[in-house]
Amino acid sequence: MADSGSQRYSPISLSTSESIGVRLPRLLADYSTVLVVAVLFVFFSLSSENFFTGQNLFNVLKQMSIVAIIGIGMTMVILIGGIDLSVGSVVLMSGGVAAVLIQEYDFGPWLAIAVGIGAGALVGLVNGLLIEVAHLSPVIATLGTLIGVRGLGQIIIDNTYVWVTDGVFVGLAANKVLFLPMMAAVMILLYVVVAIVLKQTIFGRYVYAIGGNPIASRLVALPVVRTKVLVYVLCGAFAGVAGMLTAATIGFAGPNNGANMEFSAIAAVVLGGTRLGGGVGRVERTFLGTAILTMTLNYLTIRGIPDIWQQTVTGFLLLAAVLLNYLAQRKR
């Protein structure tokens, strides 16, 4: 696999007692994603009068929120050296659970939403146990749940479209909080909370420590298995939240909800500069990665590029990000 020699020991930016010579290059690297977002934003704003309008910016925030929320869990999973391919299927299944509970079993919307998110967390638990207790490799274990959970979700919705008419549920997508679309508000809230948790809590320190050096973490008796399983559970729960928002946005739980979303989320995490293999990365940067992806696609749509080019553009964006990252690392 990738020759990780020089980057492997990149320390987690914990200490404050580093010399400026150490900090400056890291600051530049840290802000390179911000820089890319800023440059793209200015360029898009200047070259199209329809990009920098309040309405469109809210649209971008709304469009990015689903992948961005999955990206939170995916970032944590990648930080501990794993990966989760099942999130797209969880989006389908959790949305399906909530929709069926509301439409066919007359559950209250909030209870249905809670159960739906819980179902996502449950898939995360299964992933965590398969990987950490049964010792399957993350790619393979979550590939199994990708296939199985997609089928389960389609069975739950009886392989058809379950339209949700409940006002509260649909309101998740349509309503506004203060001036922000509700989805965007949820996204921002979750990012702030998780960023603080990863930075300030013991759990957050464990996540970085385990990802940075799993063997040493085990030797110093960190709760490696418990932390990793919890991270998979959280990833499932975040995918569950995204499942609610997906169903609320399009108004139904359908057999293709969430298809390929795992790959968009991984692309966003990688665009944000989090390293596959664990230990290095930040959840805020996944937000920026998603922003790059969504802004570009939004801009292309505004400029009248047909939708059929979207996937091609996404692929080459990811490729460009990977190459830039490589070139930047080689210079240092």
Partner 1 sequence: MSAGNKLSIGWRVGGFVRENGLLLMLLVLIVAFNAANSRFLTLANFTTLLEQNAPLLIVAVGMTFAIISNNIDLSPGSLIALSGVVVGLVFTSTGSIVLGIIAGFATAIVAELFNGFLVARAGINPLIVTLAAWIWARGLAISFTDANSIVIRDPFVSFMNTRFGPISPPLVLIVLAYLLGWFLLNRTKLGRYTYAIGGDEAATRQAGVDTAKYKLLMFGMMGFFIGVAMLIALSRLGAAAPDAAYGLELDAIVAVIIGGNPFQGGEGSLRKTLVGALFIAVLNNGLSNLGMLDAYFYVYKGLAIVAALLFEVVSRRLLTRDDTTLTAVIVPEAAREI
Which residues in this chain contact partner 1 in the complex, by CB under 8 A?
Answer: 1-4, 8, 81-83, 130, 134-141, 143-152, 154-155, 159, 213-216, 255, 263, 266-267, 270, 276-278, 308-316, 318-319, 322-323, 326
Half-sphere exposure (CA, 13 Å, Cβ side) for 97? 27
Q: Least distance to partner 1 from the beta carbon of 125, Å? A: 14
- What spatial distance separates the first Cα and last Cα of the chain, rounded to whole Å? 21
Instruction: Tell me the sheet residues that pair with 163.
Output: 252
Query: Residue 118 and residue 190: Cα distance in Å, rounded?
Result: 17
Query: Residue 265 and residue 86: Cα distance in Å, rounded?
Result: 11
Structure tokens that stand for 244 in this block = 């609610």
Q: How many residues does this entry show for the chain?
A: 332
Q: Least distance to partner 1 from the beta carbon of 5, Å? A: 9
Q: Least distance to partner 1 from the beta carbon of 61, Å? A: 23
Structure tokens that stand for 167 in this block = 């006002």
Nearer to partner 1, 145 or 290 (CB): 145
Query: Residue 296 and residue 264: Cα distance in Å, rounded?
Result: 14
Q: Name the residue with tokens 């800023």.
A: 38
Q: Least distance to partner 1 from the beta carbon of 9, Å? A: 9
Structure tokens that stand for 225 in this block = 């298995």
Half-sphere exposure (CA, 13 Å, Cβ side) for 75? 29
Structure tokens that stand for 102 in this block = 């509301």
Q: Least distance to partner 1 from the beta carbon of 294, Å? A: 15
Nearer to partner 1, 192 or 319 (CB): 319
Query: Residue 309 and residue 193: Cα distance in Å, rounded?
Result: 35
Nearer to partner 1, 201 or 311 (CB): 311
Nearer to partner 1, 61 or 76 (CB): 76
Nearer to partner 1, 58 or 263 (CB): 263
Q: Least distance to partner 1 from the beta carbon of 312, Å? A: 3
Nearer to partner 1, 152 or 195 (CB): 152
Nearer to partner 1, 146 or 184 (CB): 146
Instruction: Tell me the sheet residues that pair with 177.
Output: 180
Q: Least distance to partner 1 from the beta carbon of 52, Å? A: 27
